[in-house]
Amino acid sequence: MSLNAQDLEKVASKTLEHYDRRAVDFWEGTRGHDVSQNIASLLQYLEGQPPFTILDFGCGPGRDLQAFKELGHVAIGLEGSARFAAMAREQGYEVWEQNFLDLDLPESRFDGVFANASLFHVPGQELPRILQELRAALKPHGVLFSSNPRGHNEEGWNNGRYGAYHDLEAWRGFMRDAGFMELTHYYRPAGLPREQQAWLASVWRRSP
């Protein structure tokens, strides 16, 4: 599938509109989700001495920013939804309001990038560019965590949001081509049969 500039603008605007309209309900429905396994998976591979500087890519209303802060780290949110960004800022967190498809990131700033349920909104044709921009924002040997709903490499509109649903081998291809080395991967929720584990989580180190 090839998307032109107008298509990509629609992908971003309609997806963000979906979240803006449902911001309060989304917060109430997700604020209690336990993603401690994902946070620990990122932190265990970071090199150097804490506190670490983390970019929460797609921070939403700020749930995971709070978790990183409580663990003693410096977390900065990046969020495309204006309502989500405002909700996180109201709690005292620094949030950069940026469209996932139009990033403006500093180079070599972060020890880790935490992309929990966010990168799947990036169309496949744009993913190589976005991953390279995230890689450049990491310090040498920095680490990127991602968790995405998995699929069979299909993408398109789903209930008002655009999503791309990769399997493990396809995701590995994107990450390796962007200059990352795999550290680990696993499926969530833990303890369920594979067919009931809808999420693919993986951790990657920035290659030299």
Find the domain containing 195 and state its range. Answer: 5-206
For residue 13, the domain's CATH number is: 3.40.50.150
Q: Which of 60, 55, 57 is nearest to 18 (CA)?
A: 60
Q: How far is CA 71 from the centre of its chain?
A: 19
Per-residue confidence at 73, pLDDT binned at 50, 70, 90? Answer: very high
Q: Residue 163 has what pLDDT?
A: 97
Q: How far is CA 26 from the centre of its chain?
A: 16
CB 54 within 8 A of CB 110: yes
Q: Which of 56, 95, 86 is nearest to 73 (CA)?
A: 56
28-67 residue pLDDT tens: 777 668 899 999 999 999 999 999 999 999 999 999 999 9
CB atoms within 10 A of CB 164: 24
57-66 residue pLDDT tens: 999 999 999 9
d(CA 181, CA 196): 27
β-pair partners for 190: none
Q: How many structural domains compose the chain?
A: 1
129-175 residue pLDDT tens: 999 999 999 999 999 999 999 999 999 999 999 999 999 999 999 99
Q: Which of 176, 183, 178, 177 is nearest to 202 (CA)?
A: 183
State the sign of the Cα–Cα–Cα–Cα dihedral 193, 195, 200, 202. positive
